[in-house]
């Protein structure tokens, strides 16, 4: 093994451990004496007690069994018996398939050894070597290197190995790719091609297949790409020997190895020096768990150790062989069986009723006849309404409903059945969109989630990416896009509004100085310049606009100073991180939980991973440059190697993929997303190199004699079996309860065949929370504290004074005293008096109390509640409103004689700073605005029969009801005096002297002729013209009862016109028009009556909700008592 500093040591045991009697770990539900009923297991334990008394070749054992049958526990018990019989723990090697498996085996062995200690006594032993195969191989190679007087080789990371492949393929690509088939030459320079080729080479190395054999396979099966890969593999092997050789000597020890080469090198070293495993380094017993998950090369290493005199005990489960696509094979177990190993088959699932029932049902169609599949326990019916079935399923109509059901199931298991969060898991076929949806759902109801699939390359995290951006900005001059990224990233922290204001300010200052320049160029110059931003921007802007610039400037200065001082990559990174003060903010946000907390937790992990990579880089490439490190991190596609097994053990529900669930156990498991076409996946993992077919031909020689059609059929059958094994694996992770979920909408989404098999086997549909069997959206209530309070409140109202009502009141009181505020009646809607009955609009000594605009009048008539909420919520920066203001400004400019070129220049300069869009979307917006300018210009040029009176003509008029109420639509409506003001886009006079109001519209759809005739804005423009209230003059007061004034208006009016200047609403001849006829006496009076009624609605204090077509797009629906989403407001 190697020490922490990398120096080689003897292949030694683990630390000395003092064993005391303790509670056994939570495992397969087996006690130390639980094997008495199994003759085969008892024979194995007896053999373990007498291991040292028989030759090693007689101590070959193969334990077979399905998931949860106790294979790992039996292996731990055998190790305990061997130690108890006198075998030194340091001479026992226990091999697991992964870091999680190794940790589990350590706990099992500790529990088994402790159980052998008599009660009331203490004993001491030495911990066995519990490690992965690659860890053991590295220890052997390091020991051989130490004996040769050479340093231990380092293990190449996945990123480094990928880089070697990409570099070689780039050379092929630059040379024209003549060695490769023509159809793949364009892909030679891509990462995906390099990754697939690397997998091919690794599979060849793991199976000890020479390139010549691959060439023969390619020629014999019409696969020219295999022949090219064989040629590449031969050259790659030679290149790696040159790269890793410290000198020209053939006996020189390699300086680095990839994982497959590492195992092969360990085998070679054991063959060259049989004394490596003698004396203190001898291994008397090799115990292998999950033998179905190791590749042939790893199996050969174990066999080599066994030939040196070690006994072998291996556990194998063909029904859990889920890593065939990664090179795993049954070859080791098959050879062990052929060599006469005694076999033990475990037939009973001990993990729990859920694992036994669910995995047993799904495994019935697997090839073979494993005994454990015959022992499926009966699926009983829950004893009561609050009992959860051991195995159940649920289908819903959409993915969002499915995620809600999963969240509800977890809530009920935690609150009702008291299952801790960390003893529950949700397993997906692959962690993707469904997992993200579930995370959001869980966040909304307070379920803590530990995303086991969140390990991503550090450079994909925003915080790490920002750190690398700062370093890179020092190594090379940043361009405008780099500047934007730096300032608006997590280190600069400029929000879009401030960044837009910064650009505007710099552009204005540049124009004023007589040296105009692009705003982004000015921002970059400010970041890279030496002058203080406060000096450039002015005192008013300092602190808001310049702070992001100051932050990035300071961090760039730290990096530059560290580089100038000759600091290592690790030290440069530390100085930058320490100066950013981000550690404290991440810690604070992480403690808050939810979406932000989980994102901060991921960022903290990613930063730690970045430092792990930096430490490896400094150790492995002492002369490597900072630029090389940044480039390596940008191309990194794997998590940091040291972080993969160190995620915090938080009390949270685990969310993981089925492959990541290997060696994991939980009390409650939800297997989600069991969709047809997803699980089982109908496609084989072929890729360009048809890797699965290649592995089939290498592992199963008989397939070489089959036709292509027969091989395809056999391959599809093998893939189907792999998918079923993956489902069996996921199902077997549960001890007590398991739920399968899927989306089945009766159309394009259907539940998997696995759901059908469970239903046919008598598995019940999970229905907790349903109301009379209704679907989720109609009657399913999620078990949240808020929903519980709602149910209890309903019980109070349903039967006041009854025993159930009294019980509900007691529970509510308990919740309230426990600190749950929603249980307090003080916080229930309509349980407290209205805070105020006064109007938000104060009384006035003189003049109208209400003030509205024509657009507000229209909104008040449509829905007063929507108008009131909109006034409080609107910021005035909504994109449709902003675009409409720009179009109206252009219309004013056109009619004021501004040239076309000036308008286009202004639009192209200012619109990018106003719009959040970018790229082609921004270009499209600009072209739409310029098209509107052309339509306006064309319409104005065609108004030959009219004389322009004014543009943006202001008007203001005071309207009075003539009584306490007015009659609108034959109903008496309370009314108040109202002031109506606004601006008319354009006012014309025709040849007869009549006025015409023009309103420019920027919308993309023109209203109908009937709608134009009733348009209230044009009507108010006409009324203002009739009353003489235009041009800033206040007209005499007008009342709804003054017919004489209505019959004799101040100005004659010809009507109004709506002009649509959006190209989507335009016609072939130009802008689209909708006319409104001239207003008559009755229309004049009716409009005054309606306006005074609207004025009364505007002053409140009541703002009624009115349903209409506008409800479909209303932004206030969540506060509206007429809508489902806001109904609780008024009830």
Q: Which residues are annotated as a binding site for ATP?
A: 65-72
DSSP string of 540-594, one letter each residue: TTTTTTHHHHHHHHHHHHHHHHHHHTT--HHHHHHHHHHHHTHHHHHHHHHHT-H
Residue 533 near residue 526 (C-beta atoms within 8 A):
yes
Binding site listing: 65-72
Residue whose structure tokens are 């031969």: 234
Q: Give, as one character, the DSSP assignment of residue 54.
A: S
Contacts of 948 (CB under 8 A, 6+ apart): 895, 986, 987, 988
Tokens of 460: 């994909």
CA distances from 18 to 77, 113, 885 (A): 18, 10, 79
**In terms of C-beta density within 10 A (0-12 exposed, 13-18 middle, 19 or more buried), how is residue 65 classed?**
buried
Cα atoms in the 13 Å half-sphere on the side-chain side of 45: 21
Query: Dihedral of CA 1074/1075/1079/1082: which sign?
Result: negative
Q: Which residues pair with 727 in a beta bridge?
A: none
Largest CA distance in the chain: 125
**In terms of C-beta density within 10 A (0-12 exposed, 13-18 middle, 19 or more buried), how is residue 493 classed?**
middle
* CA–CA gap between residue 197 and residue 203 (Å, rounded): 10
SS3 86: coil
Q: Give, as one character, the DSSP assignment of residue 962.
A: S
Helices (H) then strands (E): counts for the chain: 39, 25
Residue 381 near residue 730 (C-beta atoms within 8 A):
no
* CA–CA gap between residue 410 and residue 425 (Å, rounded): 9
Residue 653 near residue 667 (C-beta atoms within 8 A):
no
E strand residue ranges, 833-886: 850-852
SS3 616: helix
* CA–CA gap between residue 261 and residue 245 (Å, rounded): 14
Residue 692 near residue 720 (C-beta atoms within 8 A):
no
Residue 857 near residue 1020 (C-beta atoms within 8 A):
yes
743-751: long-range pairs with CB below 8 Å, 24+:
743/395, 743/396, 743/397, 743/398, 743/399, 743/401, 743/402, 743/675, 744/395, 744/396, 744/397, 745/397, 745/398, 749/675, 749/676, 750/675, 750/676, 751/395, 751/674, 751/675, 751/676
Contacts of 3 (CB under 8 A, 6+ apart): 9
Angle at 661 between CA 655 and CA 667, to 5 degrees: 75
What are the backbone angles phi and psi of residue 397, rounded to the nearest 5°? -90, -15
Residue 760 near residue 365 (C-beta atoms within 8 A):
no
Tokens of 1051: 């100005």
Distance, first Cα to last Cα, the chain: 71
**In terms of C-beta density within 10 A (0-12 exposed, 13-18 middle, 19 or more buried), how is residue 910 classed?**
middle
Q: Which residues pair with 95 in a beta bridge?
A: 131, 288
Residue 1092 near residue 977 (C-beta atoms within 8 A):
yes
**In terms of C-beta density within 10 A (0-12 exposed, 13-18 middle, 19 or more buried), how is residue 418 classed?**
exposed
């Amino acid at each position: 093994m190697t020490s922490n500093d990398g120096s080689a040591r003897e292949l030694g045991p683990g630390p000395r451990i003092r064993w005391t009697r303790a509670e056994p770990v939570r495992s397969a539900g087996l006690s130390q004496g639980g094997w008495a009923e199994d003759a085969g297991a008892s024979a194995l334990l007896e053999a373990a007690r007498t291991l040292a008394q028989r030759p090693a070749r007689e101590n070959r054992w193969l334990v077979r069994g399905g998931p949860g049958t106790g294979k790992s526990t039996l292996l731990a018990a055998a190790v305990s018996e061997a130690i108890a019989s006198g075998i030194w723990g340091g001479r026992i090697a226990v091999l697991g398939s992964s870091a999680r498996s190794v940790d589990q085996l350590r706990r099992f062995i500790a529990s088994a050894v402790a159980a052998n200690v008599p009660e009331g006594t203490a004993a001491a032993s030495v911990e066995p070597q519990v490690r992965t195969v690659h860890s053991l191989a590295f220890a052997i190679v390091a020991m051989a290197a130490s004996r040769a007087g050479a340093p231990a080789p380092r293990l190449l990371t996945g990123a480094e190995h990928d880089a070697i492949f990409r570099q070689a393929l780039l050379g092929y690509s630059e040379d024209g790719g003549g060695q490769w088939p023509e159809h793949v030459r364009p892909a030679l320079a891509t990462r995906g091609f390099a990754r697939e080729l690397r997998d091919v080479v690794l599979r060849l190395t793991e199976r000890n297949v020479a390139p010549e054999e691959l060439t023969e396979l390619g020629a014999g099966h019409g696969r020219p790409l295999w022949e090219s890969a064989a040629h590449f593999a031969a050259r790659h092997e030679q290149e790696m020997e040159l790269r890793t050789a410290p000198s020209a000597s053939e006996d020189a020890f390699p300086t680095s190895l990839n994982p497959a080469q590492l195992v092969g090198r360990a085998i070679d070293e054991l063959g060259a020096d049989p004394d490596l495993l003698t004396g203190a380094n001898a291994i008397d017993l090799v115990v292998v768990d999950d033998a179905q998950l190791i590749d042939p090369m790893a199996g050969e290493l174990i066999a080599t150790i066994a030939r040196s005199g070690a006994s072998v005990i291996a556990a194998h489960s063909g029904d859990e062989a889920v890593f065939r696509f990664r090179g795993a094979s049954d070859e080791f177990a098959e050879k062990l069986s052929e060599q006469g190993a005694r076999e033990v088959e475990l037939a009973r699932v001990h993990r729990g009723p859920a694992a036994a029932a669910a995995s047993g049902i799904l495994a019935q169609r697997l090839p073979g006849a494993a005994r454990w599949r015959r022992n499926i326990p009966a699926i009983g019916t829950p004893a009561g309404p609050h009992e959860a079935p051991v195995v159940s399923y649920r289908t819903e109509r959409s993915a969002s409903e499915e995620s809600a059901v999963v969240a509800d199931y977890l809530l009920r298991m935690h609150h009702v059945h008291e299952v801790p969060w960390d003893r529950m898991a949700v397993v997906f076929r692959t962690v993707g969109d469904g997992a993200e949806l579930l995370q959001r759902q869980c966040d909304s109801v307070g379920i803590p989630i530990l995303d086991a699939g969140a390990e991503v390359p550090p450079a994909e995290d925003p915080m790490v990416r920002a750190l690398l951006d700062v370093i890179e900005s020092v190594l090379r001059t940043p361009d405008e896009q780099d500047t934007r990224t730096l300032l608006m990233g997590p280190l600069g922290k400029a929000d879009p509004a401030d960044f837009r204001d910064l650009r505007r300010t710099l552009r204005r200052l540049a124009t004023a100085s007589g040296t105009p320049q692009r705003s982004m160029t000015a921002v970059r110059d400010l970041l890279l310049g030496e002058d203080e931003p406060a000096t450039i921007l002015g005192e008013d802007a300092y602190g808001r606009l310049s702070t992001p610039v100051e932050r990035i400037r300071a961090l760039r200065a730290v990096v530059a100073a560290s580089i100038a001082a000759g600091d290592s990559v690790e030290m440069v990174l530390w100085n930058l991180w320490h100066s950013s003060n981000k550690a404290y903010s991440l810690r604070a946000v992480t403690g808050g939980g939810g979406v932000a907390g989980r994102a901060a937790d991921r960022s903290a992990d990613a930063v730690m991973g970045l430092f792990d990579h930096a430490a490896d880089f400094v150790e492995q490439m002492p002369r490597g440059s900072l630029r090389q490190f940044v480039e390596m991190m940008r191309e990194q596609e794997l998590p940091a190697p040291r972080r993969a097994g160190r995620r915090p053990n938080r009390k949270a529900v685990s969310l993981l993929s089925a492959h990541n669930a290997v060696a994991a156990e939980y009390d409650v498991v939800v297997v989600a997303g069991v969709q047809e076409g997803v699980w089982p996946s109908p496609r084989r993992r072929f890729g360009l190199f048809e890797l699965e077919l290649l592995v089939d031909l290498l592992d199963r020689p008989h397939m070489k004699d089959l036709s292509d059609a027969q091989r395809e059929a056999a391959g599809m059958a093998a893939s189907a079996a792999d998918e079923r094994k993956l489902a069996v694996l996921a199902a077997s992770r549960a001890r007590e309860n398991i739920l399968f979920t899927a989306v089945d909408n009766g159309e394009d989404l259907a539940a998997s065949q696995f759901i059908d098999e469970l239903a046919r086997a008598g598995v019940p549909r999970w229905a907790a929370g349903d109301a009379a069997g209704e679907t989720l959206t109609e009657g399913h209530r999620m078990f949240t504290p808020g929903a519980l309070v709602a149910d209890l409140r309903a019980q109070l109202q349903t039967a006041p004074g009854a025993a159930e009502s009294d019980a509900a009141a007691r529970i509510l009181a308990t919740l309230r005293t426990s600190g749950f505020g929603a249980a307090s009646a003080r916080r229930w809607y309509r349980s407290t008096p209205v805070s105020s009955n006064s109007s938000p609009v104060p009384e006035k000594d003189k003049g109208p109390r209400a003030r509205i605009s024509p657009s507000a009048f229209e909104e008040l008539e449509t829905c007063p509640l929507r108008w009131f909420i909109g006034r409080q919520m609107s910021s005035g920066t909504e994109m449709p409103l902003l675009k409409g203001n720009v179009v109206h400004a252009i219309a004013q400019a056109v009619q004021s004689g501004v040239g076309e070129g000036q308008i286009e220049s202004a639009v192209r300069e200012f619109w990018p700073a106003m719009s959040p869009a970018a790229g082609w979307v921004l270009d499209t917006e600009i072209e739409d605005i310029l098209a509107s300018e052309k339509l306006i210009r064309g319409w104005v040029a065609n108004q030959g029969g009219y004389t322009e009176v004014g543009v943006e003509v202001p008007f203001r008029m005071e309207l009075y009801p003539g009584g306490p109420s007015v009659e609108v639509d034959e109903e008496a409506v309370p009314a108040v005096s109202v002031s109506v003001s606004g601006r008319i886009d354009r006012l014309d006079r025709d040849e007869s002297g009549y006025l015409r109001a023009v309103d420019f519209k920027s919308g993309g759809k023109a209203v109908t002729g009937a709608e134009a005739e009733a348009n209230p804005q044009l009507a108010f423009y006409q009324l203002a013209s009739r009353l003489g209230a235009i041009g800033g003059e206040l007209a005499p007061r007008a009342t709804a009862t003054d017919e004489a004034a209505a019959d004799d208006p101040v100005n004659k009016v010809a009507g109004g016109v709506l002009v649509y200047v959006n190209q989507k609403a335009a016609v072939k001849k130009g802008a689209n028009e909708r006319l409104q006829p001239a207003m008559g006496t009755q229309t004049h009076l009716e409009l005054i009556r309606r306006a005074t009624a609207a004025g009364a609605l505007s002053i409140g204090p009541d703002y009624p909700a009115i349903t209409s077509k506008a409800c479909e797009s209303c932004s206030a629906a969540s506060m509206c008592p007429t809508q489902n989403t806001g109904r609780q407001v008024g009830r």
